[in-house]
Amino acid sequence: MLSNCTQLRHSNAHQGLIRHQRQTKYHKKAAVKMLFYSFFKSLVGKDVVVELKNDLSICGTLHSVDQYLNIKLTDISVTDPEKYPHMLSVKNCFIRGSVVRYVQLPADEVDTQLLQDAARKEAMQQKQ
């Protein structure tokens, strides 16, 4: 039978391992998020279409993006004004990152080779 101190030590070691696994998983997610953050930062000033999870699509100029992938758009228009007439008077908007379904990007502004290389590099770092 293990003493209380030994049991506590084993329990603490197990908790430390779980904490390390959670931190590693968090850092991997954070690294992927930083890849997208850097990518979107390079598109500031470009026209994009942001489709939200509620099926609202907003066209506009990417003004800024933050580390949570929240997006600020300027000079916006809605792709379906008949369905969303209340959005006609809105010129600028802030979009919470968690409600974004897709971001359509201008094809001529995206360096796909650079993006693929960055994604491969990120995948290799996650394997280590």
Q: Can you give the pLDDT at residue 64?
A: 96
Q: Can you give the pLDDT at residue 29?
A: 55
Q: Can you give the pLDDT at residue 7?
A: 44
pLDDT higher at 73 or 39: 73
Residue 125, pLDDT > 50, answer: yes
pTM listed for this prediction: 0.68
Compute the chain's Rg from CA coordinates: 22
User: What are the sequence ranges of the domains in the chain?
Assistant: 4-127
CATH 2.40.50.140 fits 4-127, yes or no: no
What would the pLDDT profile of 34-49 be if each residue is shown by its tens digit? 778 888 888 899 999 9
pLDDT higher at 91 or 122: 91
